[in-house]
Structure 1
Amino acid sequence: MKLSYRTIIQNYFHRFQADISIAAFSAPKSGLAMEQDSEFYRLWFIKEGEGILTQDGRDYATKPGQLLLLPPGKQSFVAGHKRPNGVYWCHFRASIGDMEMFDLLNLPLIVYPNEQVYVRTQFERLIDVYRSSLITRELRLRSALFELMAVYLEYGRISEDSLRQVEPLEKIDRVLEYIEENLSGPIGVEELAKLAYLHPNYFISYFKNIVGYAPTQYVNMRRVERAKQLLESPSCNISEVAEMVGMQNHYLSRMFKQQTGVTPSRYRQIYMGKNQGRP
């Protein structure tokens, strides 16, 4: 996947928030028909049994081992007759910025992960924590949900072709490519706005909504990331690294420490194995 797309998606995941409303295990009776119109995302894991899920006028056959992410809206489900049915499930609200994750990434409805025992264990953990009164309940709920979402997304195979069809990403792609190619020199908001064919004032909020950071903040982050790569090579001294990422020495040191908690020289020591026994 292109660096620009990968950067956008990773930043979206970095900001991903979810509020779980319910988690449970259900055993629908054979032939039972259910219809829901919900404002929540729904995550299902089919433990046993088969059925027919109808979403947006299309029928999907559900089978044991499938992990499903259902977007908000109307769905109907008819449990099969041949085998007992069992479904782990949860409802949650989730949005990233002003764009819903499911719509943005054009994700599949159903995936079939290899980690069957792991997925079942995470769902059982999610259900147990949901029923608990632990003071850390919300943290543990999100931890279990994020593990399940990570499995779903890894098997969902986010398509670069589908990302190209999203107009906001296409505009920002040009901007991010320009930033990557020009990290060693000055980069102004006005020139970035021209690449997206937007007024600079509007461009700043547009960029932040999609990428998750203001343009200047993002450029500084990418410069620090590039500096990390260069510091991992013994052939560059810190002054050369600063020049190659378009910063003066003192500014690089300040930005680097803000983002990592260590100075460039300390980072190099750690990476080169000269840890000297202190964190």
Structure 2
Amino acid sequence: MVLSEYISNLKIKVYGGNYTACPPSWAGSNVSLALHKLYFPLEGSAQITAGGRTYHLKARQAMLIPKGLTHSFAMTEEQHLVKYWLHFTALSDGNDLFEHFHDITVWDFNDEKDFSEICGFFRTLFLYEDAVSENEASIGNALAHQAALFSIIGILFERSGHNHMQELSMHSTKPASIVEYIENHLNEPIKVEELARLLYMHPTAFIRYFKHHFGMPPLKYIKCLRLERSKHYLETTSLPISEIAELTGFGDSSHLSRDFRSTYGISPGQARK
């Protein structure tokens, strides 16, 4: 696959993000998501631990936590953190753009021009999210949103050591149909056997195949996506929690509440507040 084809098929999908002043209670332990996480503090600092290593994230640093990486996060002693954050996937015909990012990556934006540029892209990104929540989105700001999203990812790749075509697994046979099927049927029961049939594989072989490419077993991946989508609904809509549970495949609010609290440390109601 040539570069132009890879990029033309690239879909970067946002599952959550905002400009946030974090409360002192902001923390999580042994978190592992089916999505990439991007933090970009403007003020304050945070502490992130993964793979036995602790990172001290400071203002004007962007941090990527790749999907499937188990990590913990918390405030530092100063108890102050204002950041842009983003949860997203980046796939081209089922190939993950960040496939070779296995550990936390941090980029510095100390140069004033570079810092202003990326902040401008983040502002554009979340102006669109605000417009969507207010039912005021337009084609124009939707296009600006996509341009800002691609620009942020492009800047990070330009600064990384993974900016070469040969490092991308474009020869992979992993089809986009698996990811699309999961996302399109997230509100329904999804069995491993169904997913395996899409690739004409035995379920046991499919689980190994899926874990190799996605960093986690299929059922855990599905659960992570359901939790992220429910979190997005809680933060951006006024839908009842019971309806959100149905839309995200949890079936009922008690099931959603149990898994939500286990993962995020707070209840769905608290997340909405």
TM-score, normalised to structure 1, is: 0.50
Structure 2 vs 1, CA of residues 138 and 77 (structure 1 numbering), >3 Å: closer, same or farther?
same
Pick the structure with greater CA Rg. Answer: 1
Q: Which residue of 2 aligns with 1:26?
A: 20
Q: Which residue of 2 aligns with 1:129?
A: 128
| C-alpha distance in 1 between matches for 2:17 and 2:91 | 19
The residue identity in structure 1 corresponding to 2:157 is L
| Counterpart selection for 1:40 from 19, 22, 35 | 35
The structure whose RCO (Cα within 8 Å, separation 6+) is larger is 2
Asked if structure 2 preserves the Cα contact closer than 8 Å seen for 1:23 and 1:126, the reply is: no
Structure 2 vs 1, CA of residues 56 and 16 (structure 1 numbering), >3 Å: closer, same or farther?
farther
Q: Which residue of 2 aligns with 1:116?
A: 115
Structure 2 vs 1, CA of residues 26 and 34 (structure 1 numbering), >3 Å: closer, same or farther?
farther
Q: Which residue of 1 aligns with 2:74?
A: 78
Which segment drifts farther, 23-32 or 149-158? 23-32
Structural mapping, 1:2-13, within 5 Å: 11-13=5-7
Asked if structure 1 preserves the Cα contact closer than 8 Å seen for 2:57 and 2:63, the reply is: no
Asked if structure 2 preserves the Cα contact closer than 8 Å seen for 1:12 and 1:96, the reply is: yes
| C-alpha distance in 1 between matches for 2:25 and 2:77 | 6
Q: How many residues align?
A: 162
1:15 equivalent in alignment to 2:15: no
SS in 1 for 2:55: strand
Asked if structure 2 preserves the Cα contact closer than 8 Å seen for 1:18 and 1:92, the reply is: yes
Deviations 1:137-175 (A, max 9, x none): 532321111111111111113266x939x7969xxxxxx
Q: Which residue of 2 aligns with 1:144?
A: 148
Which segment drifts farther, 145-154 or 27-36? 27-36
| C-alpha distance in 2 between matches for 1:30 and 1:149 | 29
Asked if structure 2 preserves the Cα contact closer than 8 Å seen for 1:45 and 1:120, the reply is: no
Q: Which residue of 1 aligns with 2:62?
A: 67
Structure 2 vs 1, CA of residues 105 and 44 (structure 1 numbering), >3 Å: closer, same or farther?
closer
Deviations 1:14-72 (A, max 9, x none): 43211222221222234742244322222221111112112344322201111122222
| Counterpart selection for 2:160 from 156, 162, 170 | 156
Structure 1 residue 78, shift from structure 2 partner: 1.0
The residue identity in structure 2 corresponding to 1:138 is A
Q: State the identity as a percent.
A: 19
SS in 1 for 2:125: helix
| C-alpha distance in 2 between matches for 1:9 and 1:105 | 19
Asked if structure 2 preserves the Cα contact closer than 8 Å seen for 1:26 and 1:87, the reply is: yes
SS in 2 for 1:72: coil
| C-alpha distance in 2 between matches for 1:10 and 1:45 | 29
Residue ranges of structure 2 left out of the alignment (5+ in a row): 173-273
Residue ranges of structure 1 left out of the alignment (5+ in a row): 1-6, 170-279
Q: CA RMSD in A?
A: 3.1
SS in 2 for 1:102: coil
Structure 2 vs 1, CA of residues 31 and 49 (structure 1 numbering), >3 Å: closer, same or farther?
farther
Asked if structure 1 preserves the Cα contact closer than 8 Å seen for 2:42 and 2:60, the reply is: yes
The residue identity in structure 2 corresponding to 1:39 is A
Asked if structure 2 preserves the Cα contact closer than 8 Å seen for 1:54 and 1:77, the reply is: yes
TM-score, normalised to structure 2, is: 0.51
| Counterpart selection for 2:96 from 97, 100, 105 | 100
Structure 1 residue 121, shift from structure 2 partner: 1.9
Asked if structure 1 preserves the Cα contact closer than 8 Å seen for 2:61 and 2:106, the reply is: yes
Asked if structure 2 preserves the Cα contact closer than 8 Å seen for 1:20 and 1:141, the reply is: no
Structure 2 vs 1, CA of residues 80 and 105 (structure 1 numbering), >3 Å: closer, same or farther?
closer
The residue identity in structure 1 corresponding to 2:117 is Y
Structure 2 vs 1, CA of residues 159 and 142 (structure 1 numbering), >3 Å: closer, same or farther?
closer
Structure 2 vs 1, CA of residues 57 and 135 (structure 1 numbering), >3 Å: closer, same or farther?
same
